[in-house]
Chain A
Amino acid sequence: METAANAVEGGFDDAVLAGQAAFRAQMDAMARPGTVQPVAPLTAPPGLLSAVAGSVALTLCDQDTPLWLDPRMQADGDVKAWLAFHCGAPLAHTPADAHFALVSSPGELIALENFAQGSQDYPDRSTTLILQVESLTGGEELALEGPGIKDRHTIAPKPMPRHFLAQWTQNNARFPRGVDLVLAGDDAVVCLPRTTRISRLES
């Protein structure tokens, strides 16, 4: 396979500075669950992959982190070639082998329990899912509580995985095991670590 031009274009211009800026945003987003942390569009990936999700992937994924792609992303040869060139991350054979997952259609995502949950001894060996959402607002209102959140925080991203609240309650119950979520919007990220408790906002 000869590399297509759109597989090699659109990476970080300055890998160090761009990677640090994007990392800072994700770190803050993980530390303060639910806050919207702006991420500049530092990448220009092809196909289905968004600029923000692309930046997150280039920041977090490398040779040592098997990556799982949802079926639509999996069918996009340009995205796969771009990720292979810029991250070098191998594709995970199964969701349970994945360190990271890139999800282009969160509404059609398989159940969270299919992904690596980590072990009691090594809870860090779980999958971090990067969900490419259409918008960080306008969805069902969710109330967040837990470490890193003063009192309570509200978000309304869309779309979210099916039966999300029920799945998330199960995810909480597996603690210290469990997956973490990165929601990649148009120009920002919001993170939902496994420590965050989520409920439907009572009006």
Chain B
Amino acid sequence: MSIQVRHLRKAFGGFAALDDVSLDVPGGELVALLGPSGSGKTTLLRIIAGLEPADGGTIHFHGEDATGQPVRERQVGFVFQHYALFRHMSVFENVAFGLRVRPRPSRPSEAEIRETVLGLLHLVQLDVLADRRPSELSGGQRQRVALARALAVKPKVLLLDEPFGALDAKVRKELRRWLRRLHEEVHVTSVFVTHDQEEALEVSDRVVIMNEGRVEQSGTPEEVYERPATSFVYGFLGDVNLFHGRIHRGRVRIGESELDAPEWAEARDQAGIAYVRTYDVELAPTPSGNSSLEALVRHVRTFGPVVRLELDLVDGGRTIEAHLPRSRFEGLAIAKGQRVYVSATHVRVFAGD
């Protein structure tokens, strides 16, 4: 089932949580809503679910208007950050809940309920824990129960609100890989909210990046990462350094040095921000013309395959970060406190302060 969101608006008091948001989720895809806190991503999810009314705009599921439909008729599976399991019920009864509350004519028989629930518990690999109480499970297990419970009602769409937000780093990683595999198995249209860029890029088919109640960009993980549409997206995805400067005739001037910015050939002395990803930073022991900045090595962290350096720019005193492959770092023989010259293999320039 595809989801079409058109011109959605929502304000809380005077604060515009959603400002004319339109969005298409193709059927069967796994989409991530990514953004900082307060960007409106959870509000958008809750409105799609029907847990929150919109001030304006429409929502269609597979072409059918669902805007005014109450949550219980919308057939959405919703997974909450803090699980929201029924603590007085066993794992089995939690999953069976959606089937047991159906009106009598459409309620499955006890045998069918049993079969469905055990099938789902098998799918989420919790068969052996069917008789446990939620309080006896770990966080990761609880979230899997919540997922099985949501899937039990055969939802048109599955909505997950920061599903891994309350879990520790290791379980998070495991669970998101597992969610990806699960999605390939059940193939239900799914939208999940996250503020973790790595999670969004790794798990989803499509990423929707939100900021201040608006959609900044939507596309495949590769698209949004390689070709960020706005300066916000560039800054939000991955580790970047930003330099404030002036753009003039295809060049950006930052302090005493200049960088090429061919896409800004028409610009005439305009304020701009140059973004350089941490792994696009080049270091050299000697300056190269006027396209490098002088810096002092402040800190070196050498664990893992990538060496992370913190550098204090001599001009302006700002600190930037550089990630070098270990082999390159060793070839350069850089040590803490040493003077180096910084340049960039790849720069992206946006107008503005």
Bound pair (A, B): no
